[in-house]
Each structure stands twice: as structure tokens, then as C-alpha cells.
Amino acid sequence: MTTSDCSQVSFDDSDTRREEMHSTMETWVDDLVEEVNDAVSSEQFQEWLDVQSHFHDYSYRNTLLITRQCPHATHVAGYRTWQNEFDRHVKEGESAIWIWTPIIAKQCPKCENSPSYHDRSDCEYDETSPEEWSKGLVGFRPAPVFDISQTEGEPLPELETEATGNSDGLLPALLEAATSLEVEVEVISQLDWPHGDAKGVCKYRTPAEQPLIEAQDRENTADLAVIVVHEYGHARLHGDVNDETERSKRELEAEAVGYIVGRYFGLDTSGSAFYLAAWQGDEPEAIFGRLERISLAAQEIIDAINEVRNNEWQ
């Protein structure tokens, strides 16, 4: 799966430039939709999806516990689960991450206790025997889990979401363009990165302050550039959106902005298809309904980068 045209695009500086850009972006969005559909049906994505299905969605309380004990945790599972499901083994000397796991047992229809607690309670329910009771949640117990970084063995399948290509001069221009785009940007080393498996984050602050974008540094500067553009997309489009149910839609828009801007500057951004497929939020066609917002943000970012480059050439 590769983007068909990886050479930088240019448009005549004329009265029709905006229309030409918009028409081209519509074509690229059409390409992105097709690539997302291909990604969803690909063997690589299905293998990745199968692995993800073995990891649980943890409650806010457990997520907080995991973060406090292992801030950089990305995938956690029990000792036996790592062995039996993933053919990986917890490394010697690793300390467990403790979370709360539910206790499911037969439950008294009246007091909702397990049979042993029911016998010691004041509940007088005796219409049916414990053998006939349905199972339900009767409590929680502490249980140990381990992050993937604490294990070794067979690698988990990964999705190739990174952008590639010749990014010479693009990243410095992109960072300098932050001023005209009214954002602040920090590129943080992998050693000091505080945001887990996220590649970048956009922090919205008070109305008087500019959004702060943080991106994890990496050797692949093409991918770093597209990550920064993705977060620029969030900053331009989503500063006034705080509805968590809109998260997948926000990611769809920001990734489409990254796809378009990266492609404009000659990068292969086809990995965006896997990124969007992994979100499994809106149908890919929903991108069309948001094209005007996406197109405007992409054009603003492209113009800001080109302005920096033109000033350097003068």
C-alpha cells in the first residue's frame, strides 16, 4: 500500500490556485478513503486486530493505577496470558503492576453476595438454592499484570503507519511556521517522552495562551514532520471541542490533514490508512463530510511552510 505520487506538488501562483489545490485535495481524500478500506481488509490489519482483542479495556481506576506504577506502559497482561496468548515471557526480576480485577461468582438475587458471604449475612433469602443463582459481580481482588516492556519473546504484529520520504528542509520550516500558525512546538527526546505510546499531543490551554504541541523525536524526520502536522491539525480545528465522543472524528480530521500536507511535500503518507483503520470510529467516507474543514487547515499549514521557505530563498 503506497501513495501513488511521492514527488512534491506545485500549483501556479494564479487566481485559480485555491481551486486547483482544493480539487487535488479532493482527489487525495478519495485515495485515502480507498487506502483505508484496503487496510481494513488486509491480512496485516487482521493479524493486528486479533492481537488487540486479547488486551482488556481497563477502567479509569485501573488505568490510573497502571500509570502510577509504570508511566510508560502500553500493553499490559497477566503472566500466563503473555505466555499462552503471545508466546512472550516476563523477564526475571520484573515487578508486577497491581490492578483490581472483578470477582464473578454465583450471586444471591436479594443481597447480591456470593454464597459464602450470603451465609454470614442477615439476608434471609431462601427461595432458590445457591446452585440456581446466576453469576454476577460480587467484588474485586488485586491481580498482577506486566507491561510488554517487561517481557521478551515473539514480537507483536505492528501496523506500518510511519510516513517516509525525503524531508530535507521540511521539518525546520514546519517548526518555524509555528509562529504564524499561532502554536508552540516542543520536540522531546524518546528518553524524556512522558506520553506513553502517543507520537504527539496537542495541549489546549487558556484562551490567552497558544496551544502547546509536543512531538516525540525520532530518526525518521519524514514521520516526525507528519506527526507535527497532525498536531497542527488538532490545534487549528479542535481547540473548542471537548466532547470525548468526538475523539475518533477529531483523529480522522487531523490524520487527513497530515496525509494531505505530507503528500503535498512529496512524502509517502499511505500509512495514515492503517492509523485511521485502527481507530475504527467513523466510516472512511465521513472524511468527505469534513473535507472543507480539513482542506482549510491543510492549506493554512501549506501556506505557512511555503512562506518560511520563500523567505529563506530571498
**Cα–Cα separations (whole angstroms), residue 143 to 62, 80, 149:** 11, 12, 18
Give residue 120's domain range.
76-150
- Residue 93 sits in the same domain as residue 24: no
- Residue 115 sits in the same domain as residue 182: no
- Residue 181 sits in the same domain as residue 111: no
- Residue 269 sits in the same domain as residue 194: yes
78 in the Ramachandran plot: left (φ > 0), alpha (ψ -120 to 50) or beta? beta
- Residue 113 sits in the same domain as residue 212: no
Overall number of domains in the chain: 2
Other residues' Cβ atoms within 10 Å of the Cβ of residue 89: 15
- Residue 225 sits in the same domain as residue 201: yes
Any idea what DSSP says for residue 110?
T
- Minimal CA–CA distance to 57: which of 80, 85, 83, 77? 77
Question: Looking at residue 107, what is its pLDDT?
Answer: 85
Question: Looking at residue 245, what is its pLDDT?
Answer: 63
Contact status, residue 285 vs residue 40, Cβ threshold 8 Å: no
Domain end marker among 94, 118, 150: 150
Q: Between 126 and 37, name the one with better pLDDT.
A: 37
Q: Which residues of 173-190 are buried (b: 16+ CB within 10 A; e: fewer)?
A: bbbbbbeebebebebeee
- Residue 178 sits in the same domain as residue 224: yes
Give the mean model confidence (pLDDT) for residues 138-162.
90
186-216, pLDDT tens digit by residue? Answer: 999 999 998 877 899 999 887 788 999 999 9
Contact status, residue 262 vs residue 232, Cβ threshold 8 Å: no
Which residues, at least 6 apart from 215, have a Cβ–Cβ distance to it below 8 Å? 185, 186, 187, 188, 199, 200, 224, 227, 228, 231
Residue 163 lies in a domain: yes
Is the pTM value of this prediction over 0.75?
no
Is the predicted pLDDT of residue 175 greater than 90, yes or no? yes
Other residues' Cβ atoms within 10 Å of the Cβ of residue 303: 14
Residue type, 253: E
- Residue 117 sits in the same domain as residue 266: no
3-state secondary structure at position 47: helix
Question: Looking at residue 4, what is its pLDDT?
Answer: 45
